[in-house]
Structure 1
Amino acid sequence: MIGPPTSPIGLLVALAISIRAVHLVLLRVLSYVIPPFDDSHTILSNTLLPGLRWDAIHFMSIAKSGYEWEQQLAFQPGWMAMLHAGGRGRAWAAGKVVGVDELVWAGMILAAVSWIGAAVMLDKTTSYLFNSRFAFLTTLLYLIPPTPIPSLPYTEPLYALTTFTGLYLLTVKRQYLFSGIAFAASTGIRATGIFNVLILMGIAIIGDVRPRDLRVKKFVKRCLTHSWKAVIPSLISIVPFLAFQLYAYMSFCGQSGISSRPWCENGLPSAYGFVQKEYWGNGLFKYWTISNIPNIILPLPIIFISFLGTYKYLKSLIQPKPTQPSPKPELLVIYIHHILMMSLMLFASHTQILLRTCITDPVIWWNMAGLAVDWGGGQGKSIKMTRIGKWWIGWTLIWGAISTVLWVGHYPPA
């Protein structure tokens, strides 16, 4: 007779598998009950596929037929390659020709498995940067995100897995080259992966030096003597973005019978920035309009946790408590990266996508774990749930359920 898992990792994996299995079944059942409000998914398939909504329609189109339209250049090819491979594998096992149905279900399974892997890597990295008890709570909170995305064929679960793996290899193992490869995989999935270069370079420079001991002269010296370790890994991590921009230029610029697009004439032609602005309306403060106020309000709990937790961390650097251990030096670099990404989401993107990209940012979950319970002063005393913790769990459960129904019905936000 097989007993229950005895290790925290085993317990977390068992919980994660159970949650995703139940959620996948729920999505399937709801697809029979809730008729989609938007029928754009029928362009690709008339079957009841709960995963074929919003950007997933673009993903499936690219995975099946390649990049046919300029607006699709906003999406890096890594996830589509995984969808194509998974769809072929599922079709082969069933003795079928690869179709949209196979691509969608392969994507949903890949997303669920990737999210489970991301939870494991988050736990391992957090155990090193904090402690095992804090890591266990962080990962438990991660298992109830305010989004159905971990069960859907979207890029975020695989991006989270590759990013957290890169962090683990960098912070725990100090494997710069392998970390750069993992971050390259992140960039191949989402273009924002190029910002992981800041983490690579920052940790190479700071190393194990505490922020309070890092004076300007010492920082400059370490830039000259330590940054070399991250140069090649950093170049590796941005190659997928540069390669895809080259592909876009060769495919959409200068071909006979195709009128040249504005971005083709730039000194350094890049389709990504143009497409984001032209088709998705992204840009500094461009999303800050009266009509978008509801979409900006929706992720406010995440923004609040991000601000409060980051403030608490920075305060601990400026006014350390003698009873608490000093934070690991690497955290400063990761928090700076977090501040940059949150600023990008808040000021230059569709802010509501924080509801799904939150699963790719470990700082949000570290902040939440730090605010969710009273740790009893770190002296081995019992811990208890705070008001913020109760409020967060209630919100994630309620909004997670609502957003699942909205997704199946093809209602915003997504």
Structure 2
Amino acid sequence: MSVGQLCLFFAGIKTIQYFIVLVGPTAQFDTSTSLLLERFSHHSQVQSWWNTRFWNKLVSWDAAYFLKCVIVGGPEFEHERAFSQVWCQIVRFFCGNNFELYHVLRTAVALENCVNLAAAILLYWLTSKVFKANTLKLHQRSRLAKKAAMLYIASSGAGFFLGLYSEPLSALLSFSGLIAREYAVSYDVYGNLRCSVLRWPLYSIISVLCFTAAAANRPNCILLGLIYINDLVSLIKTKRIFQATFMPLLGGSLMLSFFLLQYHFLPYQEFCPERGGWCHKMIFNLPVTYQSLYSFIQSHYWNVGFLRYWTLNNIPNFLIALPNFVVMWFSTVYFSIQYPCSNLKPLILLTKAFLVILLLFAHVQIINRISSFIPLHLWYIADRLNKSAVTREEDMKGDDKLVKFYILWLIFWIPTQTALFASFLPPA
């Protein structure tokens, strides 16, 4: 599949989604959008035909915060610091010196689509590289990469990825880092990790920069650091201490240091001790807290915390999250037992940790959009689709039936969620 074909598929999916936005109701469930538009734009502009029927509808949920952040130049209130300042500043850069609301909105939409398409193309490349090491023939890798990229484009993120959300940027950075690491490492016949010192820049500079930037954009991407922990343990087991020290240990330490600097140390320097609250949660009276400003905001303003979401009224949100939870968990089992791949062990660990944390601590329905930086479940679905293509329906296995159900769910979910998003209706 050529890049041109991927671009055509991307354009087709987005055209359908934007058409759904266009024909949807003009009235929105929440007033956040109208209040933002009234503050930063003239009434006549807000009420124009195209703006009323299309552009205004893209300013739903978190998109309203991102749009405001770009226009103002940063967070105005404490809770707005939960939204990626990295993404806001990138959009702001591409806006030039014109921060008129609809110019910013159009720029952000164009940029989001470019980033999302670039991430899909990188996923195609990453898939081809990863499964080259797993002895798949060229035509098999090509089909697998094609399906994985198409699944990324037609993802459960749906309406969230039409405008100003930051997840596509993290996916782009995550896939870039994974590609760099994949070219830097190899595996022997026993499945033991080998790191070439000659490719040290790929591993300890490029992959670290990409993963660190992904975590700076979205804190959940700090889980990419588990890849370095996995590699460190693997190299120590085979007594490759030099490579272990100057590749995963160094890379992981740099990533963690920057994360602590951004989310713990710098906020403390800016707000503490006057802010109180989380400022008092200091580590050994050092000028740094064990709770980050981000986690405090999530806990204080959105009630994020251990089992806080486990209430009867949130059962619908658990059901909305269920398809991705099931598919992602089965992907870890599949690549551990049925189709074991040595080079996928770090991603299996990452996926399991992601699911456990999300299930116990987060608003579970956000899995539909924030899982986009992990490719494991896309490879699972793509591989089963390839295999089921030559299997009679009566011979289909449990995995094939699960994947078939997931695809049918996507066909229902993508247009439905797009319409809900355009009307500022749940789920968030």
Length-normalised TM-score, structure 1: 0.82
Secondary structure of the corresponding residue to residue 197 of structure 1: helix
Give the C-alpha shift of residue 63 in structure 1: 2.2
Q: Distance in 2 between matches of 1:183 and 1:199?
A: 10
- Which residue of 304, 307, 311 maps to 1:285? 307
- Which residue of 7, 14, 17 maps to 1:13? 7
Q: Distance in 2 between matches of 1:405 and 1:34?
A: 11
Match of 2:32, as an amino acid?
S
Identify the residue that residue 181 of structure 2 maps to in structure 1.
170
Identify the residue that residue 108 of structure 2 maps to in structure 1.
107
1:349 aligns with 2:356: no
Deviations 1:307-327 (A, max 9, x none): 22222222237xxxxxxxx62
Query: What pairs up with 1:124-273 in 2 under 5 angstroms?
Result: 124-130=125-131, 131-146=141-156, 147-174=158-185, 175-176=202-203, 177-203=205-231, 206=234, 219=237, 221-222=239-240, 225-238=243-256, 239=258, 242-254=261-273, 259-267=274-282, 268-269=288-289, 270-273=292-295
Secondary structure of the corresponding residue to residue 50 of structure 1: helix
Q: Distance in 2 between matches of 1:121 and 1:108?
A: 20
Deviations 1:45-93 (A, max 9, x none): 143322211112222222222222221222332111112123x23xx6x
Match of 1:183, as an amino acid?
F
Q: Give the direction of change, closer, same or farther, for the CA distance of 1:241–1:83 in structure 2 (3 Å limit).
A: farther
Q: Size of the alignment, in residue pairs? A: 372
Deviations 1:149-175 (A, max 9, x none): 222210111111111111111113551
Structure 2: give runs of 5+ residues left out of the alignment.
39-45, 47-51, 132-140, 186-201, 283-287
CA RMSD of aligned residues (A): 2.6
Query: What pairs up with 1:270-349 in 2 under 5 angstroms?
Result: 270-316=292-338, 327=341, 329-349=342-362
- Which residue of 36, 41, 57 maps to 2:28? 36
Length-normalised TM-score, structure 2: 0.79
Give the C-alpha shift of residue 247 in structure 1: 3.6
Deviations 1:93-137 (A, max 9, x none): xxxx41232222222222211111111111111112223332222
Q: Distance in 2 between matches of 1:219 and 1:282?
A: 38
Structure 1 contact 70–252 (Cα < 8 Å) conserved? no
Query: What pairs up with 1:390-409 in 2 under 5 angstroms?
Result: 390-409=404-423
Structure 1 contact 163–186 (Cα < 8 Å) conserved? yes
Structure 1: give runs of 5+ residues left out of the alignment.
1-6, 208-217, 318-325
Identity %: 24
Q: Give the direction of change, closer, same or farther, for the CA distance of 1:285–1:186 in structure 2 (3 Å limit).
A: same
- Which residue of 370, 373, 383 maps to 1:370? 383
Identify the residue that residue 55 of structure 1 maps to in structure 2.
62
Q: Give the direction of change, closer, same or farther, for the CA distance of 1:206–1:406 in structure 2 (3 Å limit).
A: same
Structure 1 contact 372–387 (Cα < 8 Å) conserved? no
Q: Distance in 2 between matches of 1:264 and 1:152?
A: 35
Give the C-alpha shift of residue 221 in structure 1: 2.9
Secondary structure of the corresponding residue to residue 37 of structure 2: coil
